[in-house]
Amino acid sequence: MNSFFSKSALLAIGLFLAIPANAAIVNEYWIDEANGIGGYDLINSTTSNIYGFAVGSSSATAADNFSDTVAWNSYVITHSEWDLGLYLEIADVDTQTLGTFESLFAATSDRAVLYAYDAFSLNPTYLAVDTMATGFQFNTFGLVSQYVTFDRNYAIIDQGQATHPSAVP
């Protein structure tokens, strides 16, 4: 009986550990390091549709979205603009509802690279569960790290550190 219980407990623990965590994954990589051009891939392994994401930066100067998957706006938003809340230049995203800049990004970041849906659209685009979007590009002098993903109501779906694959996928 003890042996059966031990084996069952180990099996249950093993199955629990084998189940992938529900998380968004932001891969961040150089497209052209010499010219400071980077890119992101966003993988939605959560249980919610993602309507936007932002990555903290200390040196990003521009952002573009060439994704075939989602038609999101892109913008570099400063720390002070983020904390003002409603930022109409970027799809009416209420950044204040997401949280203060300091609560989401590292102290070394003074801006964020933001990609988001068009809130004025009746049918805003989103990244569905278990899908991936590529083609998010940015200009910077260094790769950044902390990210946040959010839903249509500005609820945070996930926060984390961007991964840095060695090669473009």
pLDDT above 60 for 9: no
In this predicted structure, which of 15-24, 67-76, 128-137, 154-163 has the lowest mean pLDDT? 15-24
Torsion from C-alpha of 87, 88, 93, 94, nearest 10 degrees: 50
Q: How far is CA 26 from the centre of its chain?
A: 5
Q: Is the separation of the CB atoms in 44 and 125 below 8 Å?
A: no
Confidence of residue 87 (pLDDT cuts 50, 70, 90): low
Tell me what the mean pLDDT of segment 116-136 comes to: 87
